[in-house]
């Protein structure tokens, strides 16, 4: 008979990340969701690394000047919205 127990994975973090994680009410759920999101739908900008290069950050900053983030009223996900006039 197969054992249906959950697996446990541990990993090391630096002090700054540990402090940030300690502020999160349910760290395990947060970490599971972050890993699932990174695996199933990596960011098209960073490719799933979680960081932008300095040049990618410059491009992102220029893009977000005309495309602020807005919460969708239907699904409540955040997405960029174009503010440029198309005259």
Q: How many residues does the chain have?
A: 87
Cα–Cα nearest to 64, from 48, 78, 49, 75: 78
In this prediction, residue 85 has a pLDDT band, given cuts at 50, 70 and 90, of low
| Count: domains in the chain | 2
13 vs 50, which has greater pLDDT? 13
Give the position of tokens 């490719």: 47
Confidence at residue 50, expressed as pLDDT on a 0 to 100 scale: 83
> pTM, whole model, 2 decimals?
0.50
Do 55 and 83 lie in a common domain? Answer: yes
Q: How far is CA 68 from each of CA 10, 40, 72, 84, rounded to the nearest angstrom?
A: 37, 25, 12, 11
Find the domain containing 21 and state its range.
10-41
Maximal C-alpha separation, the chain = 67
* Ranges assigned E (strand) in 1-87: 69-71, 78-80
Flag whether pLDDT at 3 surpasses 70.
no
Are 81 and 56 found together in one domain? yes
Instruction: Mark whether 29 and 60 lie in a shared domain.
Output: no
């Amino acid at each position: 008979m197969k054992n249906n127990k959950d697996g446990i994975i541990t990993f090391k973090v630096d002090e700054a990340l540990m402090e940030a994680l300690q502020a999160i009410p349910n760290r395990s759920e947060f970490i599971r969701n972050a890993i699932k999101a990174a695996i199933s739908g990596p960011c098209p900008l960073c490719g799933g690394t979680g960081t932008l290069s300095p040049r990618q950050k410059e491009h992102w900053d220029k893009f977000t000047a005309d495309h602020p983030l807005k919460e969708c009223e239907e699904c409540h996900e955040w997405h960029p919205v174009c503010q440029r006039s198309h005259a």
